[in-house]
Structure formats: C-alpha cells, structure tokens
Chains A and B, each alone.
Chain A
C-alpha cells in the first residue's frame, strides 16, 4: 500500500505567495505548451479550423503538428504556441497559452455538432495575480458553405447533484461533488491525503445530454484551475490543469481520467428548470463570477487582543431575541432542572453539575470546592437524550462544553470548544470528549462509549433554520473529517458553498453528534445533534468576534437530499485516514 502523503499544511492554512505579474510572466515564459501523461491526440494535426463565438473572439487555428499551432485572434497576426489535445468520443479538448502574454485558451469542440466552447484564461486579473481568471464563450466551428448552427453550449444545472471519483492518467485521485450550480467540492485523495474537502467556484456548461464541461478555480487557495469535459455515461474525462501550486511552480498539463459515479443528490429547483438561475450566472463583466471570500469579512485578532476584548464584553450566552439560525429550534427543555449529576470524561475532566433551573446550572471540576454558575440551554432530542451547552467561566481559553447526555445509557459526549488557534486568536478549536454519566441510583458503563462514525459520510441533508426568513442550507458530509455547507438561491438552486473540518459521533441509531469548524472563514464552531428519526437538529454555535464570546442556539428542520457512496474511499486499506 502506497504511503499517504499528507500535506504539511492544508489548503486553507497555506500562506499563498502573492506572486507578482513579473514572476508569473517569467514562469509562463518557461512553459512550452502543456505536458501530458497520455499520448496527445493528433486529431487536428495538419488541419486548420476557425472557431466563431458570440460576444467573444474568433479564433483561427493552424495545427502544424500534435503539439504546435498558430492562432490568430479576430484576424490579427498569428502567434505560434505549444498546445495539447485529447479526445473523448466526439469531444476534443485542446489548450494553449499565448506566448508573451499571461493569457491562453481552453477549447472544447463537439465534432458531432461542430459546437464549441472557448474558455479564455488569464493571470494577473485580480488583486491576487495567481488566481486564474476565465471567461467562457460559446460558438461553433465555421465550415465553409454551411450555415452556422443555431444551438450553443450553455450553462446548466444538469450536472448539479452529481458526484464522481476521478483518477487521472497522472495517478491523481479525487472525489468531486457538484452540489451547486455555482460551486463544487473536491477531496484530494492523492495530493492531500483525503482528510478534508474544499470548495471552489465552478462553471458547468452543457455540451450534450451526456457531456458536460466542468471548470473550477481554487479561489482563496492556490488560484489554480481545473477544467475538463466529462462524459456521464462513460465516466471519463479529458481536460487541463493550469496554475501555480503550493511551491509556486506552474502546473500546466492536459489529462484524461476515468472514474466512478458516486451518486446523485436531489435538485430543489422547480420541475422543468434545467438552466442556471441568473443569480448563479456570471455577471456581464468579463471574468466575473460569484466567489465567497470568507477571510475578507472575518475580523481576526491575536490571542492577546481577543483576551482583552472578551474581558471588556460580557459573553452572550443564549441571548433572548430573534436568531435566524434558530427559528426552527427545539424548545428549551426543563429535563435537567432540579437534577444533579457528574460527567466523568475518559482522559478528561470530571465535571459535577447541579441544574438549579431550566437555564441556570452550577458546575465545578471534581476536587474543586467552589461552584461556578453558568447560563445554559438544553434540548431533548429524543426521550432521555439531552443536549446542553454552557461556557466555562474562568477557564483559560474562553472554553465551552456542548454535551450530549444519554440518560438511557448513562453515556456522555462533549464537544469541548476553545478559542484561539495557531493561526488566529479568535478562531474556535474543538476536541471530542467521551465519558459516562454518574447519578444516584444508577451505574455507569465501564466500557461502552459513544464513538466516532462514518455513517453520515457522503450524505446530504438540507436544513431550514427559519420558516420566517427561509434561511436554508444543505450539509454535505464529505469525508469523515470535513463538512461542506451550500446556500440555496431563492429558486432552489445550489449557490455558494464552503467547508470546514468536522467529526461525527454516533449517539443512538439515527442520531449523530457532529461539529464543524469554520477555520479561515469566520472562526465559528458549529455543533449539532442530528436526529434523523425526527429530521430535526439542536445545537449551539460558539463564536469569538469584536463583541467577545457568544454561544447561541441552532435549530433546523431537515430533508434528505441524497447520498454519495464514498465511505469506501476512507477505509484504512486505501491508506486514507479513517474513523
């Protein structure tokens, strides 16, 4: 079994070099066309074609060989360039850069219809020069004596909900999910060890009933671009990768790959809606795309700065008033009021509790004489299954405990949240604690514990947080260690998407405790107890911001949105981390 190559830093933790235009120019000058692990196609060698696009360039090509071409843009003088082409049935994909520039083209031609899509790509078009910019133009291959075809390739939602395992000819393996019309999620099994899934803005262009063009740019990370045409029946792909990796090396190659269909998530658009809603289509400006850039809106602090802020601002713990994330939350439970218990965590603290009122408790670590009063809120997810959460005033890291107490089995699980990571002072971190409940008149188990599970991995659930506001997202549990969330547009199409590290614990049959960390995002720790029997969750969000620490309720109604068959990719035998 090949050793898994885990990265020193995951994508969201890399301090990506701000490459200058000159540096990029130098690196592009050294490229002489794309490399390829597969033999390049000679489908166009010795031929000339002209591609006409609407609102875009007319490109006249003369292919002198299988890796050299001359291209004229809009009738201008031709420039020679290296190129690479691959075919997949009737589909031809070829790519080239324009020497002396930071631009190039990816071209996809359907030889059956003579329709073509041209992606113009360029660097140094955004404040982060390394982020590949793109503009898609749809047109056709001009044939002398023939009327231009009227049809065009077009943005589509037909790929939405699909998911594939891909293995490229270079050996690179990925899981790629398309839960949105504007974004996609990718798990790098080979490059990054498959621990986490990441998200990137994505174009989906329908070529024909079985072939779709996929283009993603890893904005907020390397800025690298992956583009391919894939055949949903053959489960094969041809495409290219263009951009600068974590070593600032140019990656420019064509690839072919084959894969496995992983499943299909539900669509939530109206029946008959097979296009892409305007909100998810690029704006008129060249290169425009909707990109979620979370770190731009995350107000970050160093740990000393945040300690001062927290000292100046009383923590907000389940504050009264409207909460858009909890419009559909469960009622606060009085199950615990008037009770006392001890939770003994394995290799963790032993916490004694007195629940004095429905929202007021006292806690202390065993052996400590003084009690600390805390505001809490509890929810009864199932009979005898209580989730409650509170802050640990006086603890060193603005700590919180989000506890699931199973009174039928005397088991407890805790998500111990702390504020401050190695990178950001007000970014939450978390550890899972497992233990038992000790109460008068009952005996705790010696060996049984809640445990991590992969039963959720690959599932997608929608969560409607508020009937009033309609705020709804979809969770996609992408790996045993990550979770992605997708925002819907008002037309029901999947829109922006992001992801974070996560873990899942099985509490009872159909009931799971999960968390996700909004690392390099807005720093929140999200915790939920998912009850798939009631299709309702309860939970708490733990956040540190300019107003100090907050602990607020979360609650939403769920719907099943489908499942990807991906658990096998995270089994120990594959060498990828397992639960």
Chain B
C-alpha cells in the first residue's frame, strides 16, 4: 500500500514522508522527511509559477526549459485533497519520483486564420480553455543540494 494524504491523517506525520517503496526507492530514513517536504514544496512552486504565469516556471526544471507536456497549460490545481498523491525518495537521496492528481487547465489556440483571430491573438486571446483531470508523473533530481524537476509527464486519471 502506498502512503496517502489520508494515511497522513491516520498515522503520524512522518508516515507520509516515508513511502513504502521497492527497488531503488527503498524505505527512507527519517531524514528523508525533509526531502519529501522539499519535493512537495517544489511541486507547489511549480503550480504557483504556472497559475501566476510568472514566466519563471522553467527555472524549476533541471534542464531549464518547460517540458512539452506543459505547453498551453495555464493552471494546475491539486485534486482530492492530495489523498492520491505520492512522493518517494530514492535510497541514495539523489532522485525522487512522485505522482500528483491535478486539474489541468489549458489554453488551446483556436485553429483558424483571419482578422478576428488575429485581433483576438493581439489582445492575448484567441484560444479556448479546457480543464481535464490528470495524473502528473514526476521525476526529480538533486543538483548541488537543490531539488529540480527532471521529468514531467501526464496521463489520464
């Protein structure tokens, strides 16, 4: 069983930070709780940057660029009070992986040509908004002591 937000409420707070993992991602020591918190904060920072359209979201990625999966994404909202979220720190403490359920709001450019579309684009519009529920599969790396997002992909809930 993977730890969940619900388990957070039913167990000690450290339980959430200590995933029951297999393989390279093994049971972490209590010290890993700080890493879990850091990763969660990194994920929260990503949502803030995306939702705020700050233009700085790419700085949270190890490669310094936004992944294609975030093209057109303008909103990331946590779902289900995080009860399905999962964070796992590798045994060596250098990588981590996580899944988050999110409501993902996207701008989809209206596929058309013409004056009205040109004008809409000129005033920062010309797109449709869509919202879909997605699972974000995340991989993180620790670089010079700081957690960064290495891989972000999405799939349907």
Contacts and interface: CB of A to CB of B under 8 A. Distances in A.
B122 to A, nearest CB: 5
B110 A471 contact: yes
Interface stretch (B11-19, B64-72, B113-121): B113-121
Contacts of B115: 294, 485, 498, 518, 521-522, 524
B22 interface: no
A312 interface: no
Interface in A475-491: 485, 487, 489-490
B125 interface: yes
B124 interface: yes
B112 A279 contact: no
A323 B111 CA distance: 8
B123 A487 contact: yes
B110 A324 contact: yes
User: From DSSP, what is the main secondary structure of chain A's interface residues?
Assistant: loop
B54 interface: no
Nearest to A522: B115
Contacts of A46: none
Nearest to B108: A469
Interface in A287-320: 290-294, 297
A559 B114 CA distance: 22
12 contacts: A279-B124, A290-B123, A291-B122, A324-B112, A325-B114, A465-B116, A468-B128, A469-B110, A469-B128, A489-B125, A490-B125, A495-B119
Contacts of A294: 115, 118
Interface in B15-67: none
Given A469-B128, A489-B125, A496 B111 contact: no
Contacts of A465: 116
A454 B104 CA distance: 50
A174 interface: no
Nearest to A495: B123
A225 B125 CA distance: 27
Contact of B116 (A290, A291, A471, A543): A471
Contacts of B124: 279
Given A279-B124, A469-B128, A541 B119 contact: no
Interface string A539-554: 0010101000000000
A490 B127 CA distance: 10
Contacts of B117: 324, 471
Contacts of A297: 118
Contacts of A322: 111-112
A527 B144 CA distance: 63
B123 A485 contact: no
A148 interface: no
A496 B110 CA distance: 17
A524 B112 CA distance: 14
A522 B114 contact: yes
A471 B127 CA distance: 9
A471 B117 CA distance: 8
Contacts of A462: none
